[in-house]
Amino acid sequence: MTSQVSSTAEHADGAVVGEQRTAAGTKDVRRLDRVIIRFAGDSGDGMQLTGDRFTSETASFGNDLSTLPNFPAEIRAPAGTLPGVSSFQLHFADHDILTPGDAPNVLVAMNPAALKANIGDLPRGAEIIVNTDEFTRRAMQKVGYDSSPLEDGSLDGYHLHPVPLTTLTVEALKDFDLSRKEAERSKNMFALGLLSWMYHRPTEGTEKFLRSKFAKKPDIAEANIAAFRAGWNFGETTEDFAVSYEVAPAATAFPPGVYRNISGNLALSYGLVAASRQADLPLFLGSYPITPASDILHELSRHKNFGVRTFQAEDEIAGIGAALGAAFGGSLAVTTTSGPGVALKSETIGLAVSLELPLLIVDIQRGGPSTGLPTKTEQADLLQAMYGRNGEAPVPVVAPRTPADCFDAALEAARIALAYRTPVFLLSDGYLANGSEPWRIPDLEELPDLRVRFAQGPNHALDDGTEVFWPYKRDPQTLARPWAIPGTPGLEHRIGGIEKQDGTGNISYDPANHDFMVRTRQAKVDGIDVPDLDVDDPDGTAGLLVLGWGSTYGPITAAVRRLRNAGERVAQAHLRHLNPFPRNLGAVLEKYDKVVVPEMNLGQLATLVRAKYLVDAQSYNQVNGMPFKAEQLATALKEAIDD
Amino acid sequence: MTDTDALLQLVPKAEGKQSMKDFKSDQEVRWCPGCGDYAVLAAVQGFMPQLGLAKENIVFVSGIGCSSRFPYYMNTYGMHSIHGRAPAIATGLAASRRDLSVWVVTGDGDALSIGGNHLIHALRRNVNLKILLFNNRIYGLTKGQYSPTSEVGKITKSTPMGSLDAPFNPVSLAIGAEASFVARTVDSDRRHLTEVLRQAADHPGTALVEIYQNCNIFNDGAFEVLKDRQQAEDAVIRLEHGEPIRFGADRSKGVVRDPRTGDLKVVAVTPENEAGILVHDAHAASPTTAFALSRLADPDTLHHTPIGVFRSVGRPVYDTLMADQLDTAIEQRGKGDLAALLAGGDTWTVVG
C-alpha cells in the first residue's frame, strides 16, 4: 500500500513535473513546482537565521511556503555532536501547500553531525551540499563515521556537492579586518548566497536585513554581505553547480490581498493586540519564561505604545495570578505558557472558573511529561486543558490549525472569554509557534467587535424594592455574570474561591446551591455559541471521516489530497473548538462508517469523542516531537479505508 | 509635590464624609469569639474614613486562612483568592489600575509558607500594595499545626515531639527582600495599630505591616508578654522616628551600637552613655540598622521586641515605572497603529 500511496503523491503534492531547459548564460535553468530545503548545522552555526532569511526571500518572491525549525533545547550543545544539530526545513511551491514537506530535496550539511543526523530523511537522488572543511577525521569520528562518507561511496545515490564553505568564506573576507574565527562565522551567509543563486531568490531583502541587524557594527554587516554575495557568485561560476532552479510565484493559490510571512507565535501575539483593540480594553500579560511560549512575551513587551502591559512574574503561578488580578480590574488579561506551566497554574485557573472573570490561558504545547522535549511539538495537553483542575471546573478550549490561524484563534478565544466571563484555553503547539507561512493581512474592518459592557449600576430589586447589585446574577442568554470593576461606585462586592450563593455571590455551603452552581457553570460553557463543524466531503460519498484538531491540519489535509488524487473517497473535518464541541459534531460522526483521529498524543481527542458520542473513533498517533508526515498519514488512512 | 502626594492623588477622594459604618459589609463576621482578627478589622474599618478615599477605589485582596476572610467584611471591592497568591493577584491589579488603593490581607502561613515567593517579589518590586500580615504563629484554619513563625520545639498536632525548623522573622525577611516600608504592630493596641496603618497607607510602594495577632483557640497568649502591662514595659521597644530608642520602666533601657561589632544591644541607660543611645532613623538609606533592630527580639521569649516603623524609604514604585514606560513608548513611537503593526515587515500583493 505504501508504494501505491507514495506514487500518487508525486502528482498530488508536486515534485519535478516539467523540466524546461532555458539558456541562462551557460547554465541550465529548470522549472520546479516545489522544493524542500533543509539547512542543518551546529547549534552555533546560525541555521535558524539562515532558514529565516531564505524564508523571507521566498515569501517576498510570492511562493507559498511552510517551515519547520527544529533545534535542540540546549543553547550550545557540545560542538560537532549529534544532539547539537540544529536544522530548518522550508517547503516552497508555485501552488498552495500545507506542510513543511516530508523529505528534503536538498540538504545543506555544515558538518558531519548535520549530515549523519539528517541523511536518513533524504530520498535517493536528493542534492547534498556539504561543508568539506568540517569533514576532518576527528569531527567524523565524533559522530561515528569510520571512513569519510564523502569518499567511501555511501552517498553514491545522491547528488553530492562538496564545497569548502569555511575556506571560501574566509577567502572572500580576506580584505576585511577580521580574525579567521570571526570570518568563519559568516559561512552560513555564504551558504545562503549559494542557495539563493540555486533557487533564483531575491537578495535585496537579506542585504537590507544584514545592514539593519548589524547597524552598530557596519564592518560585520559588510562582511556578511560579502560572504552572501560570494556564495551567490560561487554558484554562478562553479562547474559543480551546473543547474539552477525556478519555482514560480504561487499567484493563483492565494486570494487577492496583501501578504506577509508570519510565524504562529507572532500571529498569536498580533491576535492578542488586535483583540485588545477590538474589545477596547487594555491588554495585560502575566507570564513566566518557558519554551516555546517565551516569544509571545518578547513580542508583546515591544508594543507598550498599544497600552500593552507585560509582567514577567517570579513564577508561573504569579504570572496567571497577576493576569487574574488585572482581569478583575477590567483588563483583557492573558497568561502564556507551555504544559509544565499549565500544571502550576491549575489552581488559579480553577479560581478564575469560580470568579467567572475573562482570562486567556495560552498553552504552546511541547513534548511531555515533565520537562519532556522543550523544543519539540506535541498535542498532549488537551486533557490537561479539559480536566486538569480540582472539582468540576469546565474551561472552553480553542485551537489554531496553522501558524497564521493563530491570529484568528486568539481573537476567537478572547471573544469567548469576554462574552461569557470565563477563562479560555488557547492550545497552540511548538510546530505552529515556530513554523511560518504566508498570511493575508486582514483589514481592520474584518475583525470582530469584542466590546463588552461593564456593570454600571444595580441589577436586582429586593422584595422591599431596594435596588441592589448582585455579582452573580446572570445574563439569561449567555449565563455570564456582570463584570463590575473596582472604581464603579455602588457596586462594591466581594468575590472568592469559596462556593457562592446564586445571585448574591455571598459565601454559601448550602448543598442544593452548590449542586445548582456546579451545573450552572457547566451549562454556561456548554452553551457557548460556536460555529458548526464544516465537513469537506466533495461528493458526499466517503465512508471514512478524518477528524483532527490543532496543528495536524496541514499534514491531514495534505494526506487527504493525496488519497483523493489516487481516487479514494475520504471526508475531512477539523475542530477549532474542543470545548464545547460544535453542536453538529455528533451528527457528523454518525454519518460515517469509520472515523480516524490522527493526533500527536496517545488519543486524547479520540477519548473525548468516544466518551461523548459513543462512536468507535480510531486513533492514529505519533509522539516523536515532530509533525506528521503527509505520506505516512496517507498510508495509514488508506489502510483504514481498505480495512 | 512629593511622590507620595502624586501617587495618592491618583486614587479619587470620597465625596462626602465617611464613617466606620460605611466600611462594614452586610456579611456576618465568622471568626472565633475572642479572635484578635476582630480588633484588627475594627481598627481598619475605623481608620479607613481618615484616608478619605472613595471606597469604590479601595480593594482588599486575600489568600487563604482565617485572616484571609477579611475582605468579606469590608464594604469595598474585594477578592478572597487562593492560598499564598494574594500578592501576585494584587500586583496585577495594582499595576494595571493606578487609581486603586490595593490592600493585601494575609497570615503567617499564607504569606511566609505557601506564598513566600510572591511576598518577597512584591517587596523587591515595590508594587503599590499595603500588605497586612496577621502573624499568630500558628495555623488556625487547618486547626493548629505549627507555622513558619512558630518557635522551635512547638508542640502541635503535626509536631507532637516539637517542631524542628527555625522560624522566620517576618520583619528581617522583608528588609532582606528590599522592602521600602516595614512595620510591626499588635492587634490589641488600637492606637498604635492605627498610626502604623496611616503611615503604611501614605507610603508609595509596598508597605509590609506585621500585626501580632492572638489566636485564642490554638495559640492563646502567644504575645501576652507584649500585652501585659507589667511585662510589656521590658519587652516592648516602641520605635519613633527621630527619637532615641529607649524603653522599660522610666525609659531606663536603651539601644546602643556595639562599637566592636557594629551590632545593636540593649543597655541600662546611664548619664555617661545617654548621649550614645541610638536615635531611630526609619528613613535611613541603608537597611542595616533596621535589620539589626529586627534582630533584637528573642524569638522564644519575645523580649526586646521593637514595634513601630522599622524602615520607610522612598524607592521607585513598580506600577509608576510601568506606566511611565507605556507613556515613553507612545511619546517615542506614537500611539499604536494596529494596521501598521500587522502590515509590518516584508509584504507582497496578490492581485485577483
CA distance A58 to chain B (A): 11
Is A470:A416 a contact under the CB 8 Å cutoff? no
Cβ A384 vs Cβ A342: under 8 Å: yes
Beta strand A544-549 with A570-575: parallel, antiparallel or unpaired?
Answer: parallel
Residue A361 included in any domain: yes
Position A467 in a domain: no
- Count CA atoms within 13 Å of residue B124 on its CB side: 10
**For the CA atoms of A605, A606, A608, A610, what is the dihedral angle to 10 degrees?**
160
Q: According to the model, what pLDDT value does residue A27 have?
A: 81
Burial class (CB in 10 A: 0-12, 13-18, 19+), B249: exposed
Same domain, A410 and A265: yes
Closest Cβ opposite residue B92 in set A304, A322, A488: A322
Please check whether residue A482 lies inside any domain of the structure: no
Domain identity same for A247 and A329? no
pLDDT in tens, B25-60: 999 999 999 999 999 999 999 999 999 999 999 999
Q: Is the pLDDT of residue A7 over 50?
A: no
Interchain contact, B96 vs A351, CB within 8 Å? no
A497 touches chain B (CB under 8 A): yes
Kindly tell me if the per-residue pLDDT of A148 is higher than 80. Answer: yes
Q: Nearest-CA distance from A316 to chain B in Å?
A: 10
Beta bridge partners of B219: B215
CATH number at residue A129: 3.40.920.10
What's the rounded Cα separation, in Å, for the pair A220 and B255?
A: 63
Is A473 inside any structural domain? no
**Cβ contact (<8 Å) for A351 and B325?**
no
Tens digit of pLDDT for each residue in A460-482? 999 999 999 999 999 999 999 99
Do A91 and A158 lie in one domain? The reply is: yes
Q: In the predicted model, is pLDDT for residue A43 greater than 50?
A: yes
Q: If phi over 0 gives left and psi between -120 and 50 gives alpha, with beta otherwise, what is residue B165?
A: beta
Q: Would you say A443 and A545 are in contact if contact means Cβ atoms under 8 Å apart?
A: no
Q: Does B119 touch chain A (CB under 8 A)?
A: no
Q: Is residue A510 pLDDT above 60, yes or no?
A: yes
A620 inside 8 A of chain B by CB:
no
Share of chain A above pLDDT 70, in %: 96
Q: Residue A562 maps to which CATH number?
A: 3.40.50.920
Report the chain B residue with the minimal C-alpha distance to residue A323: B92
- Among B81, B333, B348, the residue with its CB nearest the CB of A351 is B81
Return the residue in A54, A65, A314, A445 with the most chain B beta carbons within 10 A, the one to mutate for interface testing: A314
Question: Would the CB atoms of B346 and A260 count as touching at under 8 Å?
Answer: yes
Residues A544-570 have a mean pLDDT of 97
Beta bridge partners of A598: A620
Confidence of residue A76 (pLDDT cuts 50, 70, 90): confident
Please name the amino acid found at residue B259: P
pLDDT at A634 > cutoff 80 = yes
* Residue A8: per-residue pLDDT: 31
CB B92 to CB A311 under 8 A?
Answer: yes
Report how far residue A63's alpha carbon sits from residue A203's, in angstroms, rounded to the nearest whole number: 15
Q: Which of residues 83-112 of B touch A (CB under 8 A)?
A: 85, 88-97, 99-100
Contact A487 B80 (CB under 8 A): no
Q: Is there a contact between A441 and B343 if contact means CB atoms under 8 Å apart?
A: yes
Residue A253 confidence class, pLDDT cut points 50, 70, 90:
confident
For B23, nearest residue in chain A (alpha carbons): A492
CB contacts, 8 Å: B325 with chain A: 304
Residues A246 and A269 in one domain: no
| Average pLDDT over every residue of B19-25 | 96
Q: Pick the residue with more confidence: A175 or A27?
A: A175
pLDDT, averaged across chain B: 95
Tell me which residue in A305, A355, A490 faces B333 most closely, judged by beta carbons: A305
Contact between A365 and A429 (Cβ < 8 Å): yes
* Chain B partners within 8 Å of A258 (Cβ): 343, 347-350
> What percent of chain A lies above the pLDDT cut of 90?
92
Residue B257 has pLDDT above 90, yes or no: yes
- Tell me whether residues A260 and B345 touch, CB distance under 8 A: yes
Given a cut of 60, whether residue A20 has pLDDT beyond it is: no
Boundary-marking domain end, from A196, A226, A253: A253
Question: Following DSSP, what letter does each residue of B327-338 receive, concatenated?
Answer: HHHHHHH-S--H
Mean pLDDT of the region B332-336: 97
What's the start-to-end Cα distance of chain B, in Å? Answer: 62
| Calpha distance A148→A479 (Å, rounded) | 70
Confidence tier at B5 by pLDDT (50, 70, 90): low
- Does residue A243 lie in a domain region? yes
Chain B residues inside the 8 Å CB shell of A254: 350
Quick one: A226 and A265 in the same domain? no
A466 in contact with chain B, both atoms CB, cutoff 8 A: no
Claim to verify: residue A93 and residue A135 sit in the same structural domain: yes
pLDDT score, position A4? 32
Query: Measured between alpha carbons, how far is A301 from A561 in angstroms, rounded to an integer?
Result: 41
Which of the residues A201, A328, A408 would you substitute to probe the B interface, choosing the one with the greatest number of B C-beta atoms within 10 Å?
A328
**A284 and A366 co-located in one domain:** yes
Over range A9-21, report the average pLDDT.
38
Q: What is the pLDDT of residues B259-306, one digit of tens each?
A: 999 999 999 999 999 999 999 999 999 999 999 999 999 988 899 999
- Do B168 and B176 touch, CB atoms closer than 8 A? no
Query: pLDDT tier at A25 (50, 70, 90 boundaries)?
Result: low
pLDDT band of B18, cuts 50, 70, 90: very high
Question: The complex's ipTM?
Answer: 0.97
- Is pLDDT larger for residue A253 or for residue A31? A31
Q: Of A223, A238, A253, which closes a domain?
A: A253
Query: The domain containing residue A427 runs over which residues?
Result: 259-446
pLDDT at A22 over 60: no
Q: How confident is the model at residue A254 (pLDDT cuts 50, 70, 90)?
A: confident
**Is B2 a residue whose pLDDT tops 80?**
no
Q: Does B348 touch chain A (CB under 8 A)?
A: yes
- Residue % of chain B over a pLDDT of 90: 93
Tell me how many degrees the CA angle B270-B271-B277 measures, rounded to the nearest 5: 70
| B162-213 per-position pLDDT tens digit | 999 999 999 999 999 999 999 999 999 999 999 999 999 999 999 999 999 9
Residue A174 pLDDT greater than 90, yes or no: yes
- Residue type, position A18, single letter: G
pLDDT digits (tens, 9 = 90+) for A370-419: 999 999 999 999 999 999 999 999 999 999 999 999 999 999 999 999 99
What is the identity of the amino acid at B190?
Answer: R
Residue A488 inside a domain? The answer is no
Whether residues A174 and A299 share a domain: the answer is no
A203: nearest Cα among A2, A395, A60: A60
Tell which wins on pLDDT, A7 or A296: A296
Whether residue A35 contacts residue A13, with contact meaning beta carbons closer than 8 Å, is answered with no
Q: For A544-564, what is the mean pLDDT?
A: 97
Tell me which of A492, A498, A506, A507 to substitute to probe the interface with B (most B C-beta atoms closer than 10 Å).
Answer: A492
Whether the Cβ atoms of residue A293 and residue B60 lie closer than 8 Å to each other? no
Local confidence band at A191 (pLDDT 50, 70, 90 cut-offs): very high
Residue B344 pLDDT = 87
Measured in angstroms, the CA of B2 and the nearest CA of chain A are apart by 24
Question: Of the candidates A251, A303, A324, which has its C-beta nearest B89's C-beta?
Answer: A324
Question: Is B341 close to A306, i.e. CB distance below 8 A?
Answer: yes
Residue A19 binned pLDDT confidence (cut-offs 50, 70, 90): very low
The answer to whether residues A314 and A364 belong to one domain is: yes
- Weakest-pLDDT range from A26-30, A37-41, A86-90, B87-91: A26-30
Contact A496 B345 (CB under 8 A): no
Q: Is the CB of B346 less than 8 angstroms away from the CB of A315?
A: no
Residue B8 confidence (pLDDT): 62
Q: Is A28 a domain residue?
A: no
Determine the pLDDT at residue B6: 63
Which among B25, B82, B329 is the nearest to A347, CB-wise?
Answer: B82
Kindly report the CA angle at A441 between A439 and A443, in degrees rounded to 5? 150
Domain of A310, CATH number, reads: 3.40.50.970
Q: Among A92, A261, A304, pick the best mutation site for testing chain B contact (most B Cβ within 10 A).
A: A304
Residue B258, chain A, CB below 8 Å: the answer is: no
- Which residue reads 548621649 in cell numbers? B275
- pLDDT at residue A17 in the model: 38
Q: How many CB pairs under 8 A join A and B?
A: 208
Sorting pLDDT into bands at 50, 70 and 90, what band is A11?
A: very low
What pLDDT, on a 0 to 100 scale, did the predictor assign at position A318? 98
Q: Does B128 touch chain A (CB under 8 A)?
A: no
Residue where one domain finishes, among candidates A403, A421, A446: A446
Residue A128 belongs to some domain of the structure: yes
Q: What is the pLDDT of residue A396?
A: 98
Q: Residues 310-369, chain A: which have Cβ within 8 Å of B?
A: 311, 313-315, 317-318, 321-331, 333, 347-348, 350-351, 355
Residues A305, A406, single domain; the answer is yes
Give chain B's domains with CATH numbers.
3-222+317-333 (3.40.50.970)
Q: Is it the case that residue A529 has pLDDT exceeding 90?
A: yes
Q: What value does the mean pLDDT take over residues B93-112?
A: 98
* pLDDT 10s digits, A569-578: 999 999 999 9
- The residue of chain B with its CA nearest to that of A471 is B77
Min Cα–Cα distance to chain B from A85, Å: 29
Contact A496 B332 (CB under 8 A): no
Q: Are residues A199 and A337 in the same domain?
A: no
Q: Based on the domain organization, do A130 and A184 belong to the same domain?
A: yes
Q: Could you give the CA distance from residue A527 to residue A375 in angstroms, rounded to a whole number?
A: 36
User: What is the number of structural domains in chain A?
Assistant: 3
